[in-house]
Amino acid sequence: MAGALDDAQFAALAAAVRHVLGIDLDAYRSQQLDRRLRFFRARHGLVDNAHLAARLREDAALARQFEDFLTINVSEFFRNPDRFDLLRERFLPALLARRRSLRIWSAGCSVGAEIYSVAILLAELDPAGHHELLGTDIDADALERARQGVFEPLEVRAVPTPWRLRYFRQEGTNWVLHPEVRCRVRFVRHDLVQDPYPADWDLILCRNVVIYFTEPVKRQVWTNLAASLRPGGVLFVGGSESLYGVGATGLRYVAPCFYVREEPAHPLGPQPRPNGEPGPAP
């Protein structure tokens, strides 16, 4: 009976989250999520998921806190610097040798640190280049912060000092990214679970996002990301993420955290751009 009760309460919570926040909580369900929900409920004095569901429907401030808690906006520039060294030394030069104008998408970009990291690398490698850089996330507040380009000291700790002085200015304890870097990146809200995927990218970063999804949703996301790449395009994932069975997607493992799309992949749905414009056929 307890299991049935828990399932009913989780269903009520999932319905509330879908209605209030537009997020499919079923895609996240796992023992890890259950532990995190217990932590959130304890923090706010809520006895169970049904109580949390009721409060989310009536308390906009709590709903916003729950969205921030659920979407886990942890990000920093050049996270895992050795992987970004590989991106700078190997993958970006190879992509630039194939195509003068690159299309790069950071999926689940949080506050923008990773897509801005790529913008800085391109400014170093190809100062006169014109590239399309897109950051998407489910969290509208994180996207607004990304557009502002203001970062805390811990978020820029891996930025080499010469680059920090070249591309940022310090305001108090924070670091503000220069407008000429910010203007190179466009930010749009996008839900990896529910929304159509944009197509025809040379490089996609999706790092430490998919680990929170259920296994079927992980497979769906990896398949759709593969389909969104051009042949020869690169997928850059997090250090704790592995793409099991990637052959069916047309992706080939080439280095830790990096996969290249070799064969045409088939998306699970239509592929317009996040801003509603129709995307090119995969």
Read off the pLDDT band of 72 (50, 70, 90). Answer: low
Q: Which pLDDT score is estimated for 274? A: 45
Average pLDDT score over residue span 258-281: 54
Average pLDDT score over residue span 242-249: 72
Average pLDDT score over residue span 109-120: 96
Average pLDDT, the chain: 86
* Residue 259: strand pairing partners: 235, 253
pLDDT (tens digit per residue) in 48-67: 999 999 999 999 888 877 87
- In this predicted structure, the answer to whether residue 275 has a pLDDT above a threshold of 70 is no
Closest CA to 275 of 207, 182, 198: 198
* Residue 136: strand pairing partners: 107, 188
Helix (H, G, I), strand (E, B) or coil at 79: coil
Token couple for 215: 């296994």
- In this predicted structure, the answer to whether residue 271 has a pLDDT above a threshold of 60 is no
Share of the chain above pLDDT 90, in %: 57
Helix (H, G, I), strand (E, B) or coil at 172: coil
- Report the alpha-carbon distance of residue 233 to residue 204 in Å, rounded: 8
pLDDT (tens digit per residue) in 140-196: 888 999 999 999 998 999 999 999 999 999 999 999 999 999 999 999 999 999 999
Average pLDDT score over residue span 71-77: 73
Position with higher pLDDT, 25 vs 99: 99
Domains of the chain with bracketed CATH: 2-71 (no CATH), 81-261 (3.40.50.150)
pLDDT (tens digit per residue) in 200-211: 999 999 998 887
To the nearest 10 degrees (0 to 180), the angle between helices 140-148 and 60-71 is 70
Closest CA to 86 of 117, 56, 46: 117
Q: Which residues, 6+ apart, have CB-to-CB distance to 48 below 8 Å?
A: 9, 41
Closest CA to 135 of 112, 158, 118, 155: 112
Average pLDDT score over residue span 113-141: 95
Q: Which pLDDT score is estimated for 278? A: 36
- Report the alpha-carbon distance of residue 225 to residue 223 in Å, rounded: 6
